[in-house]
Amino acid sequence: MIETLPTYVSWIFVLTTVLAVAIYLYAVWEVSRQQLFVFLTASVLVFLLGLQAALAFNDFYLVNTIPPRFPLAPLPATIILLILFFAFARKGVSVKSLQILTLLSVVRVPVEFILLWLYRNGQVPELMTFEGRNFDILAGLTAPIVAWVAFRGGKINCPLLIVWNLLSFGLLLNIITNAILSLETPFQQFAFDQPNRGVLYFPFIWLPAIVVPVIFTSHVVSLWQLLKRKTDITIQWT
């Protein structure tokens, strides 16, 4: 826990994480409405929420080791979520699930304000906020607009969705890169005066361990389906 940080910041982030997980599970349900898919995905996320919280409480990620321990935060969720999605959604996903996956990015708006609060409390560098090099908030602000425009009248605007997903994915990769290179590791390249420490504490460890993998998966799955649609029409309204 970060003792100098106002309690409401932690609570807002916890609620944001719960919202991200809930929206993602809703999208998973709408993919094929297979209870096993939803159960396995929910079980994995709940288990990782608990595991990553326990590790953060015990300062697991604060120990400077070679190789760094930080990859153990985002990789498990990212790999498992992608495996589950492609295992259960080989025939494609519904239009509604694509729309929900697009709307999922709205959680990036509160995340950006949380990063700003962490910066002003000396826990992350300025470059990780929208006052620095992080423009990820644009994906969150445009998500509801794109979700409305791209799915009007029972049709899908594939070009719009592809462009938006590519740009939003690029914004996500930008902040991931800057965040990793700002950590206090042998590979640190940025922010030596105020490194990235805040996301290594509970509950903010859930940002790289849960929220980012969920958003990352949403873009990968959406782009896979949208590009696949060009040669194999598998998207149906349900």
Least confident of 20-24, 73-77, 90-94, 172-176: 90-94
Environment class of 41 (CB within 10 Å of its CB; exposed 0-12, middle 13-18, buried 19+): buried
In-domain check, residue 55: yes
In-domain check, residue 233: no
Stretch 201-217: mean pLDDT = 98
| ∠ Cα 148 174 63 (to 5°) | 125
How many other C-beta atoms are found inside a 10 Å radius of the C-beta of residue 187? 11
In-domain check, residue 52: yes
Q: Please give the Cα distance from 168 to 132 (Å, whole number).
A: 17
Least confident of 33-42, 49-58, 88-97, 112-121: 88-97
Give the tens place of pLDDT for each residue, 114-128.
999 999 999 999 999
Q: Please give the Cα distance from 146 to 73 (Å, whole number).
A: 30
More confident residue, 188 or 55: 55
Evaluate whether 164 touches 148 at the Cβ level (below 8 Å).
no
Stretch 123-140: mean pLDDT = 96
Whether 4 shows a pLDDT value over 90: the answer reads no
Q: How confident is the model at residue 45 (pLDDT cuts 50, 70, 90)?
A: very high
Whether 136 shows a pLDDT value over 80: the answer reads yes
In-domain check, residue 121: yes
Compute CA 13 distance to the chain's CA centroid, rounded to the nearest angstrom. Answer: 13
- The predicted pLDDT at position 190 comes to 93
> What is the token pair recorded at 43?
């079980």
Whether 41 shows a pLDDT value over 60: the answer reads yes
Q: How confident is the model at residue 8 (pLDDT cuts 50, 70, 90)?
A: very high
Whether 185 shows a pLDDT value over 60: the answer reads yes
In-domain check, residue 36: yes
More confident residue, 61 or 4: 61
Q: What is the percent of the chain with per-residue pLDDT over 90, rounded to a whole number?
A: 80
Stretch 223-234: mean pLDDT = 67
- The predicted pLDDT at position 138 comes to 97
Q: How confident is the model at residue 230 (pLDDT cuts 50, 70, 90)?
A: low
The pTM (predicted TM-score) of the whole model is 0.93
In-domain check, residue 235: no
Domain that holds residue 149: 7-228
Whether 237 shows a pLDDT value over 80: the answer reads no
Give the tens place of pLDDT for each residue, 57-95.
999 999 988 889 999 999 999 999 999 998 988 777 788
Count: domains in the chain? 1
In-domain check, residue 234: no
Mean pLDDT of the chain: 92
In-domain check, residue 237: no
